[in-house]
Structure 1
Amino acid sequence: MRGFLVTELTGPSGGSVAEVPEPEGAHPWADGRLLIEVHAAGVSFPDLLQTRGRYQHAAPPPYVAGGEVAGVVKEAPAGSDLRPGDRVASLSVWGALAERALAIPHYTVKLPDEFDFTAGAALYLNYATAWFSLHRVGFQRGEHVLVHGASGGVGTATLQLVRALGGHPIAVVSTVDKEAVAREAGAEEVLRPCDGWPEKVRQLTGGRGVQIVVDPVGGDRFTDSLRCLDVGGRLAVVGFAAGTIPTVKVNRLLLRDLSVVGVALDPYVARFPSVVRNLARDLEKLAASGSIRPLVGHVLELAEARRALELLDTRQATGKVVVRIR
């Protein structure tokens, strides 16, 4: 079968489309074999980090890249509610950019009829991240949520989810084109990360600030994010797309009763397994009702898989980057 094989940890240039072996056994994170006939694969920032050996969950080269699949179940583990022929979206962590991939049963949702495989490939990782971020910070209906990187996959998913759950999403983006994407995703207000933007946040919220910040970017805007939180506000640390990991002066947290919360689904699920069942139930319900709909910004073919990763590397991506396999 064909797949995008990474042979050197030098970034996207370290991979190319090649003949690769058929997947054997079960995924290392799974108790049983879930084999997917891949129709489309989602490409995300962790996939880019893996190509440089900088992600905590990685496979040694040579490996097939791609962490998210949409396709048809070919083999399902005994005792699961999945059956051959089911249309699903799932996490693979690696291996998705190939004609068949091993997926993780408890990180799998069934696709509604209204979702094609391109939309399905943009569903699980981004919306699970958005859902779990809001879960970790105790989101409540009516709260204001500031979203960094709001034109990207996680950002647009968070904006949609906040809106669907009765909150007020505020986006932070860097360009006019990205603003259009954020507004399409449901942002009520859109800001630029320029001088004085925390004060604009306060002006939009009656002088108080937002209750929640969801931050997949990190970098030098982190301290300003703390400044624009209301008393008792919570900041969800999702990732570091800016490339630098910020530090926290804890006196800022003490003086205004702020919380900084890490968002890492896998260790949480290992300790509290019921959360992943609730997550899957809510995503399937929201997708079927039309309350969430992935914004796919780029669709490429398998032969262009390197380019898909480069779009993330050069910060050109808006919405989700998807690679069609079939």
Structure 2
Amino acid sequence: MRAFQVTGFDTAPQLVETDCPVPGPGQVLVRISACGLNFADLLMMSGRYQDTPAPPFTLGMEIAGTIEALGPGVTGTAPGTRVAVFAGQGGLAEYGVFDAARCVAIPDMMPDTHAAGFLVAYGTSHVALARRARLGQGERLLVLGAGGGVGLTAVELGAGMGAEVIAVARGADKLEAARAAGARHLLDATEVDLRGAVKDLGGADVVYDAVGGDMFTAALRATNPLGRILCIGFASGTVPQIPANHLLVKNIDVIGLYWGGYLKFAPQILTDSLSELMQMYAEGRIAPHIGATRELGAAAEALGLLKDRRVAGKVVVTI
């Protein structure tokens, strides 16, 4: 089978021919149809992600596909079942073996491209906003990086929860995608004084930050007393240093959210969240925004689109 693999952190990933894997105890073999790309894939390429495996390994954290075979001891599912899987790695390939417990059944009306870009983006924003930040109706939600795959889901879910959403993104196309997802206020990150613009709108009660860097600092200064700031990621490449005295004076909470980490200490939270999100999808309450698709042979190009932030929404590789 073909797989897009990291063979070393000092060399570019490449498409290779390798043996088709065999499922072990508790695992299933999945014929992969689509793989959603995430910023963490870029970090893995250089060995900078917190869960980077040792090379060689296949990139691709989340997939959609069809179960082909069951490993020993697997019950409750059957070959032919369409599933989405948060795999952590192994998605940019024609086949993969994954723990059966991580498989989520895909609704019949959900295309594979939607399913492959669904779990991480929607799962992160749902747990962050509903559980960690306890976003309330009528609160003002500031979303940094609102044009990205994860940021757009925060806009959409936040608006659905009754929040007044301020979307910050770069360029008209990404801001238009945020408006379509439910944002009430649009701020171009390249043209505004973020702190001043947000304060003019009344300040932020909750900040959803997938960017970090200077934007975090500006957002912190525009956060209202009793506000909550969600640290989701650092797409800017800079991890902000937080002045604790600002938190003290304004009674602000800074909340970390690593969605995949819940698999190790509270997996039921993710299971319950994804079940609710799948129901929302089936009812037409949420609609994933796929900004670009590429075939497996163009995986390097797809990762380049993600790295350069040239696409609004998710980038998905079809297999």
| Equivalent residue, structure 2, for 1:115 | 110
Structure 1, residues 168-225: CA drift from partner, whole Å, max 9, x if none?
2221012112112212222121112345322322332xx3x22111111101111111
Find out whether 1:173 has 2:169 as its counterpart.
yes
Distance 1:63 1:271, change over 3 A: closer
In the alignment, structure 2 segments of 5+ residues that lack a partner are none
The answer to whether the 8 Å contact 2:143/2:155 transfers is: yes
| Equivalent residue, structure 1, for 2:197 | 200
CA distance in 1, matches of 2:44, 2:286: 28
Find out whether 1:258 has 2:252 as its counterpart.
yes
| Equivalent residue, structure 1, for 2:134 | 138
Structure 1, residues 114-136: CA drift from partner, whole Å, max 9, x if none?
21111111111111111121121
Deviation, structure 1 residue 268: 3.6
- Of the structure 1 ranges 238-247 and 281-290, higher mean CA displacement relative to structure 2 is found in 281-290
Q: Aligned partner of 2:293: which letter?
A: V
CA distance in 2, matches of 1:268, 1:123: 17
| Equivalent residue, structure 2, for 1:319 | 313
Deviation, structure 1 residue 304: 0.1
Map residues 241-252 of structure 1 onto 2, 5 A cutoff.
241-252=235-246
The answer to whether the 8 Å contact 1:68/1:91 transfers is: yes
Distance 1:106 1:71, change over 3 A: same
Map residues 180-191 of structure 1 onto 2, 5 A cutoff.
180-191=176-187
3-state secondary structure, aligned to 1:293: coil
Q: Aligned partner of 1:158: which letter?
A: A
Structure 1, residues 244-285: CA drift from partner, whole Å, max 9, x if none?
110001000000100100001243443334312221221111
Aligned residues: 316
Deviation, structure 1 residue 79: 6.2
Map residues 18-33 of structure 1 onto 2, 5 A cutoff.
18-26=16-24, 32-33=26-27
The answer to whether the 8 Å contact 2:6/2:57 transfers is: yes
Find out whether 1:40 has 2:38 as its counterpart.
no
Q: Aligned partner of 2:187: which letter?
A: L
3-state secondary structure, aligned to 1:285: helix
Distance 1:196 1:176, change over 3 A: same
| Equivalent residue, structure 2, for 1:277 | 271
3-state secondary structure, aligned to 2:85: strand
Distance 1:267 1:230, change over 3 A: same
TM-score (norm 1): 0.91
Structure 1, residues 22-81: CA drift from partner, whole Å, max 9, x if none?
22445xxxx820322111111111011111111111122221111110111224574664
| Equivalent residue, structure 1, for 2:64 | 70
Deviation, structure 1 residue 229: 1.4
3-state secondary structure, aligned to 2:16: strand
TM-score (norm 2): 0.93
CA distance in 1, matches of 2:241, 2:60: 30
| Equivalent residue, structure 2, for 1:86 | 81
3-state secondary structure, aligned to 2:27: coil
CA distance in 2, matches of 1:153, 1:19: 30
The answer to whether the 8 Å contact 2:67/2:81 transfers is: yes
| Percent identity over paired residues | 36
CA distance in 2, matches of 1:161, 1:81: 31
Find out whether 1:95 has 2:93 as its counterpart.
no
The answer to whether the 8 Å contact 1:218/1:242 transfers is: yes
- For 1:51, which of 41, 45, 49 is the aligned residue? 45
The answer to whether the 8 Å contact 2:27/2:74 transfers is: no
Q: Aligned partner of 2:134: which letter?
A: G
CA distance in 2, matches of 1:35, 1:298: 27
Distance 1:270 1:3, change over 3 A: closer
CA distance in 1, matches of 2:192, 2:48: 31
CA distance in 2, matches of 1:40, 1:124: 13
CA distance in 2, matches of 1:25, 1:229: 49
The answer to whether the 8 Å contact 1:5/1:20 transfers is: no
